[in-house]
Amino acid sequence: MATINSLQSIPVPLPIFDGTDYDLWEKKMITLFNSQNLGDIVNEPQNTSILNEAQRKELKVKDASALYLIQQSLAQNVFRRITKASTAKDAWDMIRKEFLGDPQ
């Protein structure tokens, strides 16, 4: 379960991805990320060299939150495929590449 917006405490079940219907799971996860102000974490590479220490800490917490949501929303057989990901973007890209293919 996750909560909608950190200011609210309404528990919401996470969409679980078991390897089928990736497109539907992705849409749900994007909505979840956006509702938690985490959409930029999985969609844009983060350049921490231009951030001050407080901003780096905030980014690290946001990244950990997004990675946790990704990990918790995967069935065990899919989660095993991203265990080496150290950031939310890495995990997101690994899943996306495997289930949608490489766009390049």
Mean pLDDT of 82-101: 94
The dihedral built from the CA positions of residue 45, 80, 19 and 36, taken in this order, carries a sign that is negative
Question: Higher model confidence: residue 34 or residue 3?
Answer: 34
Could you read off the pLDDT of 59-75 as tens digits, one per residue? 999 999 999 999 999 99
Contact predicate 41/62, CB 8 Å: yes
pLDDT for res 7? 45
The yes-or-no verdict on residue 78 having pLDDT over 60 is yes
From 6-15, 37-46, 77-86, 93-102, the region with the lowest mean pLDDT: 6-15
The Cα 26–Cα 15 span in angstroms is 9
